[in-house]
C-alpha cells in the first residue's frame, strides 16, 4: 500500500514537472510563432517589436511608426493559437514632444551608428542588476537615445537613464517610461 502511494506521488511529481516544462515550451512556441508572423507581415517592422510570453499571456513592447502597425501587431498576437491574453505596451512614434524617436531621413552609415549605440545601451541595461532592462525598448536617432517601456520604480528609472547617458556615442537621452 505504501509502495503504491509512493509510486503515485512520484508519478504526480513527474506530471507536475512535465506540465511546467510544457508551459515553457508552449510560451516559446507562441513567441516564435508571433515573431515569425510579424517578420513576414508587410505592415509591421518585426525588428521594432519585442514579444514575450508567460503562461500564454503575450506582452508586446517597442516603438512603431503608425497606429496601423501597432494594431496589426496586436491582432497578429491575438490570432495566434495558445494565446490567452495580449498586453499591448507598444508606443507609436509621434515626434520629439512625446519622447518617442522621430524618423528623420538618414543614410546607411547614420543608421548603423544609431544601431550600434542602441545595442550598447541595451546590453548595459540588461546586464545591470538593478535595471534588468528586458522591459525597456531602446531606439536611437542621430545619437539621441529614446527609452520606452516599464520600470518598477524611480531608482531603476534613474539608473537606466544614467546607463544610457554614459554610453559611448550618446548625445542625449529621452525617457518615456510607464
Residue 171's pLDDT is 93
Domain shared by 124 and 169, yes or no? yes
Q: Which domain holds residue 143?
A: 96-177
Is the pLDDT higher at 111 or at 176?
A: 176
Adjacent-strand bridge partners of 136: 149
Residue 156's pLDDT is 92
pLDDT at 6 over 50: no
CA distance 64 to 69: 7
Q: At what angle do helices 2-40 and 67-78 cross, to 10 degrees?
A: 150
CA distance 122 to 112: 15
Which cell numbers in the block locate residue 13? 511529481
pLDDT, tens digit, 9 for 90 and up, residues 7-63: 454 544 444 444 444 466 788 888 888 888 888 888 888 778 888 888 898 888 887
Q: Look at residues 48, 51, 52 and name the one whose alpha carbon lies nearest to residue 62.
A: 48
pTM of the model: 0.48
pLDDT, tens digit, 9 for 90 and up, residues 73-95: 999 999 999 999 998 888 887 65
The answer to whether 61 touches 90, Cβ cutoff 8 Å, is: yes
CA 67 to the chain's CA centroid: 18
Domain shared by 50 and 130, yes or no? no
The answer to whether 80 touches 136, Cβ cutoff 8 Å, is: no
Residue 168's pLDDT is 92
Residue 60's pLDDT is 87
Of 69, 92, 115, at which residue does a domain stop? Answer: 92
CATH classification of the domain holding 58:
1.10.287
Number of folded domains that form the chain = 2
Domain shared by 108 and 122, yes or no? yes
Domain shared by 12 and 52, yes or no? yes
Amino acid at each position: 500500500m505504501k509502495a503504491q502511494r509512493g509510486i503515485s506521488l512520484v508519478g504526480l511529481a513527474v506530471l507536475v514537472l512535465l506540465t511546467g516544462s510544457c508551459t515553457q515550451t508552449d510560451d516559446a512556441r507562441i513567441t516564435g510563432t508571433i515573431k515569425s508572423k510579424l517578420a513576414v507581415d508587410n505592415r509591421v517592422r518585426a525588428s521594432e517589436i519585442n514579444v514575450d510570453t508567460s503562461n500564454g499571456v503575450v506582452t508586446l513592447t517597442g516603438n512603431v511608426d503608425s497606429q496601423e502597425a501597432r494594431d496589426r501587431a496586436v491582432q497578429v498576437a491575438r490570432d495566434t493559437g495558445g494565446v490567452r491574453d495580449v498586453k499591448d505596451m507598444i508606443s507609436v512614434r509621434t515626434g520629439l514632444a512625446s519622447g518617442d524617436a522621430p524618423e528623420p531621413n538618414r543614410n546607411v552609415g547614420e543608421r548603423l551608428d544609431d544601431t550600434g549605440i542602441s545595442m550598447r545601451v541595451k546590453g548595459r541595461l540588461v546586464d545591470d542588476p538593478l535595471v534588468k532592462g528586458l522591459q525597456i525598448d531602446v531606439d536611437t536617432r542621430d545619437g539621441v537615445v529614446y527609452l520606452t517601456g516599464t520600470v518598477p520604480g524611480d531608482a531603476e528609472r534613474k539608473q537606466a537613464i544614467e546607463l544610457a547617458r554614459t554610453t559611448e556615442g550618446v548625445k542625449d537621452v529621452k525617457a518615456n517610461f510607464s
